[in-house]
Structure 1
């Protein structure tokens, strides 16, 4: 009998408690708020019951659906930049069904080893993998999948792609049910006939044909391992696109097949010993014919890139509407311009070599959109894109990189440098001497950076690069848009010894045209899915990065405009609107460029030629240039004329626009150089064009220091506000350490550089004579110094030959 207590006349039974005694009334301390074991157990049992009920209900109500009809695939359409004119379609679902029983066991097991090693024994779902992925996703470590091969089969054969948790739960239930209802061989066979393998191939039979030109039943162990290895990302891991990753995945598949017992050691050793099974060349369908094929291939690659993430499989089946950045009128002008190259097939005089490669790229500086691109004549004949893959030495198109670096580090356009030729820079070439020549060894005297840019004077830019720092030139090139690491931090980088593609060179000049605002080049403007939702839109002008200040860019734009006004790019004056640019010709005329821009459009025209072993060779002169006394192709020949012709059509409907405002330096009298005889006229301004106001007050008189000790000579010149550059050579005219000659003794602007030649003493290898022997004049190297002033090409000698523009 329970005891009771009396409280205020009431009797309360003791020992009777609620089942869920919470808060616990018989506990006086804070522990009364801690749940009892009954509450804990009860809650857990209730939760388990609810989950079990949900799972049972889901299991009962989830039926295996009918397979997805292949006829449900929708065509994706690509449009030109106007958004209405069709460029091409993506709808190639190439599939041939094969019976699993006809395939060697290792074909299916290669896929099992690569995608789901537990396939033959699991229930269709990897619960550990699901828990691991769920935990990782909750931690914010990025979404992680845990799909078994059976779940992938469900997704591709029955349900289509799902990403939400409810969809994944249904997918798991279907995988469990299908594993109970279908044999593993049926599941694997259907999977092999369904999965996308890249190259437009759906199913193992189409994949075997596309990669190796054989039937699936005839695949070798090694070939099966390669095909299975690239399943997760077949476009980007295709051996044609990423051979290193394809080989890594092939090796991984073979290792897994051996580890899981699907092949024996002898089969493994045979496959490894034979090496990576090279795939056959990939030939696209006819929609890729002609120059447009290069554009469609670029669209496909950009859609698969990070940020858009549309795979080739989705592109060929999901019904996307894709608008490109390519202006149809500009693209037509680009194709028409390249077609002006004389061709043997048309019976043209002096045709181009069949090995000549030509490219043209136009970019809108405001947002980085590619407005026109010529990568080749026919993508079906040659899938190598001359504009995005073809790389050649940039020549003097790199000089603006040094100019920008110099301007950022305090130099100004009115600074004067020794433009004579040849010049030797001691220790500049990795510790060795570097001899640099101008075009035909032409000596320009003491000139400012404007004229040095306009006339592409190698010796001035070599000295400017040494003063500024080659590492700064390399850094500026990267900031402008050249791929990082391409431009080495050595003195000769100013002469364009590095190789660049036309696309990245256009990007660099577009950044200059945009006043230092850099955008990412792109060809996809907008993607809309089949439901009309915008899946992707390219970044606009507000997404550009400010790489340079406007003052630096204003000076750079002005200097490059003088290339057109008075220099090697003068044919571009015919455009009739503000234009700027730079010619470029690599050593031995292996490449020729004109890189230029207006305020609204940056365009690069490039040529290079390949030999029998795909090595670059001298461009064979063609057209009217083949008939000249000194036949050669330089940046100042066909490239600048082609650029001008194209831009006249491309800019016809664009506003004229203006470059950044800049006050040019006042003209200074140019010192008469030690002239190299030349039949071509120089471009010195006539005396009548000198400004009326006297310039002498702004100049300083250069002290004569010949015969002085070098340290005293330097001190005297620096006291006069001048810069000093010293080179040394053997001489019996002056004692060691004394000045032999100086580059100027006239009046020059403050801050000009005076070059001194200092004696190293008598050459120990020569016998002294009673009288000084006149040093013979050096004969220019015919391979590097044969061009005349302003001719658009030229080079330097020594171990680091330079380029001219």
Structure 2
């Protein structure tokens, strides 16, 4: 029978025949005959059953122990089939090929654009709160120089600072780019890693936006630029387009701005400073940098030179002989005369801070986005109040200074900040006699002691912490303390016995009277009673930067640095019933297609309302019956305004303060003794013709007079809304009974960690008065006979807080 006939026969039989064996046929066993005498063949398993699906199902069920085992084995089989090493390897190569393909496509699509850095540089417009124009700033200070004009060693400083492999790499840092893309995609901002080529591309061809798209473009363009452009041209482009601060774009403008020389005359140490400067131009500018900024830029400068030695670009013996090149004083840009420059700089700084916070930018990147980038920046400055403040400083102080007659008059600097305590807006600010003549902003500088203006912070900490005296009595406005001068504080592991002004003894006095008379010995003891760590924490919460400051009793005298801006924020928080106020000059900032909203100046409750209000109540006594009485309370310009405030005068009469407030306005005024040539801190004594030796500039003098002349001309007649029944604002000062005793018993737990002890004064403390006095005796003429060693180990005279006239 042929194959066709067999197939037809199977079809007529209703099922297919078994497939023909591929190998030699196997013997078929004999079969029994049917009853009809016909033999029947034994069917193979393939031929058994009905349909094909039924046979498959039957076969699958054979040998299975149960349902669970059946499913498990089947799942494992499917997983093994899915994740074989061949398939995984194939998937990996597929992804790689797709990635390579996508990059090739991107490389082909993205071309090197025309340079746009110059086109992006344009004027910023600054406006007062009423919309009137304060200043326009945008003249680009840039002069492109050929790389051949820059000494080779100076060229190497930039490579050593930013990209040691610059001369051998292909223009990109793959690890840095991967990290940057990952962090940008996750909203974590930037973390460095860019080569000089990438930074040049970002400066000249792209912008500072932190997006994945921009970073991918930067990668492609950097590769192309590195392939098409020489390393020297790339380096020249980088150093000529970078921003160095002081309004200087490019190395030529920077060389003139910082060292008054052309780029070709720069020394290697000067070049290393400019290279270090690029990391944070404003923070590292020596003229305005604080102690931390100066420390950081010196570290960066050393890092640059050490890298040059490591690369073989600088001989180690020459490097060891190099000293840090202190830059020249800056020259202010045109259009920022008077107070304008100070206002513009603070507005720029606060806008940069916001960009750093919201976009994760570095300081350098934020400055590049702000300076001369076409922003319209509106300030909170009220032009009427600004004019009044400037007039008050001139009328009460600067008009009386004559540097030709008195050398000390050249050393007097004034700074002031005025804040709305309800909104946190900076309404007026005085930074110095002129931005052209004194580049450092006296309103924001934090290198002078705030002295006794710190005392309200100690009381605020005591009230907020429900602190008690050494003998367990609650601390409040009526608590009795021993006001004896040079009285050794109790309960401290660090010996400390500060003198009062003119070494005057007050005997047993209330906290209210001690604040009125600014009695050092009382607040030194109170600080220990509260615990200096608690005091420093509250100071930080209120707005002072106490990072890394030791929590020692000497801090009760206001021995740290602070600015009028910071002190205005502290007192504004007290005026705002303990709700944090961070003064802001920035109202809004916008440019084409972009707007930046400043942070809310009003923050969380940092001390209780009752604590803040009782401090305010106590501070009204300083004005009405204390060190500010003559200049403020009895001022003829006062028209019933209720006033609180505190005077302060620091060591050696180097600074004098008055920070005061009404219900609607807080203003901090500081006077600083700064040598006109060296810029070192010097005494204010004798300025304006006051008798040398005794003619101290006190907080209750010129600072309080400036404050009154300004404030009483711009505030309304209001009274404080106080949630307290203690303090001078709500009750008259009472004379405590004779039975009241000051705190004497040492606390059980020392408040300090033992450090180097101060040497106690050789002059013994006078015995406390047997009766409590509400007013001081006639001050003695004695002064400390020997200097004492402070807890920090520095030899200095004991601070003498002034009893301001």
Shorter-chain TM-score tier: 0.7 to 0.9
Gaps of 5+ in 2: 1-18, 23-45, 57-70, 468-473, 747-765, 786-795
Is structure 2 residue 409 aligned with structure 1 residue 358?
no
User: Contact 1:198–1:313 at 8 Å: present in 2 too?
Assistant: no
CA distance in 2, matches of 1:105, 1:124: 21
- 1:172-187 to structure 2, matched below 5 A, reads 172-187=219-234
Distance 1:348 1:191, change over 3 A: closer
Match of 1:152?
199
Secondary structure, counterpart of 2:572 in structure 1 = helix
User: Contact 2:489–2:525 at 8 Å: present in 1 too?
Assistant: no
Match of 2:604?
545
Distance 1:285 1:135, change over 3 A: closer
Is structure 2 residue 679 aligned with structure 1 residue 619?
no
Distance 1:28 1:558, change over 3 A: closer
Is structure 2 residue 311 aligned with structure 1 residue 256?
no
User: Contact 2:674–2:682 at 8 Å: present in 1 too?
Assistant: yes
CA distance in 1, matches of 2:165, 2:331: 36
CA distance in 1, matches of 2:498, 2:580: 35
User: Contact 1:395–1:803 at 8 Å: present in 2 too?
Assistant: no
Match of 1:31?
77
Match of 1:583?
647
User: Contact 1:517–1:547 at 8 Å: present in 2 too?
Assistant: yes
CA distance in 1, matches of 2:425, 2:76: 68
CA distance in 1, matches of 2:408, 2:286: 33
TM-score normalized by the length of structure 2: 0.74
Show CA shifts across 1:750-798 (max 9, x none): xx99xxxxxxxxxxxxxxxxxxxxxxx999235589xxxxxxxxxxx99
Match of 1:572?
632
Q: 586, 592, 597: which is aligned to 1:524?
A: 586
Q: 364, 388, 392: which is aligned to 1:337?
A: 392
CA distance in 1, matches of 2:534, 2:53: 95
Distance 1:292 1:58, change over 3 A: closer
Distance 1:282 1:550, change over 3 A: same
CA distance in 2, matches of 1:123, 1:486: 43
Secondary structure, counterpart of 1:117 in structure 2 = coil
Match of 2:134?
87
1:285 CA displacement: 0.7
User: Contact 1:589–1:633 at 8 Å: present in 2 too?
Assistant: yes
Secondary structure, counterpart of 1:359 in structure 2 = strand
Is structure 2 residue 218 aligned with structure 1 residue 163?
no
Q: 279, 302, 312: which is aligned to 2:350?
A: 302
Q: Which moved more, 1:451-460 or 1:109-118?
A: 451-460
User: Contact 2:445–2:563 at 8 Å: present in 1 too?
Assistant: yes
CA distance in 1, matches of 2:707, 2:216: 59
1:329 CA displacement: 1.6
1:549 CA displacement: 1.3
Secondary structure, counterpart of 2:427 in structure 1 = strand
Instruction: Choose between structure 1 and 2: higher strand proportion.
Output: 1
Secondary structure, counterpart of 1:159 in structure 2 = coil
Distance 1:271 1:30, change over 3 A: closer
Distance 1:374 1:124, change over 3 A: same
User: Contact 2:385–2:428 at 8 Å: present in 1 too?
Assistant: yes
Match of 1:243?
294
Match of 2:143?
96
Match of 1:789?
none
User: Contact 1:587–1:803 at 8 Å: present in 2 too?
Assistant: no
Q: 389, 395, 401: which is aligned to 2:457?
A: 401
Show CA shifts across 1:320-368 (max 9, x none): 1212222222211111011012636889999982222222221222343
User: Contact 2:124–2:137 at 8 Å: present in 1 too?
Assistant: yes
CA distance in 2, matches of 1:2, 1:121: 72
Larger Rg computed on CA atoms:
2
CA distance in 1, matches of 2:514, 2:74: 94
Distance 1:606 1:68, change over 3 A: closer
Secondary structure, counterpart of 1:59 in structure 2 = helix
Is structure 2 residue 694 aligned with structure 1 residue 635?
no
Q: Number of residues paired by the alignment?
A: 683
CA distance in 1, matches of 2:183, 2:20: 55
User: Contact 2:508–2:768 at 8 Å: present in 1 too?
Assistant: no
Is structure 2 residue 543 aligned with structure 1 residue 481?
yes
CA distance in 1, matches of 2:85, 2:485: 95
CA distance in 2, matches of 1:591, 1:173: 56
Match of 1:73?
121
Secondary structure, counterpart of 2:136 in structure 1 = strand
Secondary structure, counterpart of 2:610 in structure 1 = helix
Secondary structure, counterpart of 1:594 in structure 2 = strand
Match of 1:715?
none
Is structure 2 residue 448 aligned with structure 1 residue 448?
no
Gaps of 5+ in 1: 15-24, 672-698, 703-720, 728-739, 754-776, 786-796
